[in-house]
Amino acid sequence: MRLQITASCLRACLATLLAVAGASVASAPSEGGLYIAGAGFSFQVAAERAMAQDPGGRRFFLLTLPPEAAALAASASPAQRRLRERVLTANGVLLVCQRDLDNGRIDAARLASGVVPVRGWPAPGSTELPTDQRYFPNEDRSTLPAANEALRQLRSACS
């Protein structure tokens, strides 16, 4: 009798544990963080940190500011190209600020394929970004963070 109670208790405990574990996995974020190269961190440091902190294929975002943007150029050193490919293989999205392209601090013609330009916040009073929208009308939402906080940080960094 005692063995039957223990076995049934074990089954119930195991079922509860699996349900809790499943709920934890379901509530885990599907996206990783936003990392910024050029704001006191080299492209290498930011890329390695992003890959270490967002394992398991979660999409993460690596914004690269001048002068670290040389790592995103088609003419980057072989080591920088390998690191860039590792970021993409790890499900990273490589980003640059549209303002840096507009003001010539980054040459769009020299960027490797797959680098995504991101717009900052519009000027006060502008109607470019409708008040009830998170994305500009011509932006590809699939290349930008779904999380509000990450998108806000990204827009602020690119303003």
Angstrom distance (rounded) from CA 111 to CA 109 = 6
Q: Classify residue 93 as exposed, middle or buried by CB count within 10 Å of its CB (0-12, 13-18, 19+).
A: buried
Query: Has residue 20 got a pLDDT over 80?
Result: no
Q: How far is CA 138 from the centre of its chain?
A: 20
Q: What is the pLDDT of residues 24-78, one digit of tens each?
A: 333 345 788 999 999 799 999 999 999 999 888 899 999 999 999 999 999 999 9
Mean pLDDT over all residues of the chain? 82
Residue 13 has a pLDDT of 33
Q: How many CB atoms lie within 10 A of CB 31?
A: 16
| Pairing verdict, β 59-64 and 92-97 | parallel
Alpha-helical (H) ranges within 28-135 are: 43-53, 78-89, 98-102
Q: How confident is the model at residue 9 (pLDDT cuts 50, 70, 90)?
A: very low
The angle formed by the CA atoms of residues 140, 145 and 150, to the nearest 5 degrees, is: 140
| CATH code for the domain defined by 29-157 | 3.40.1260.10
Comparing C-alpha atoms, which of 103, 85, 83 is closest to residue 158? Answer: 103
> What pairs with residue 97 in β-bridges?
118
6-10, 24-28, 76-80, 146-150: which is most confident:
76-80
Q: What is the pTM of this model?
A: 0.78
Least confident residue range of 5-9, 106-110, 129-133: 5-9
Using a pLDDT cut of 90, give the percent of the chain over it. Answer: 62
Q: What is the pLDDT of residues 32-47, one digit of tens each?
A: 899 999 979 999 999 9
Amino acid present at 56: G
Across 79-94, average pLDDT: 96
Using a pLDDT cut of 70, give the percent of the chain over it. Answer: 82
Query: Has residue 154 got a pLDDT over 50?
Result: yes
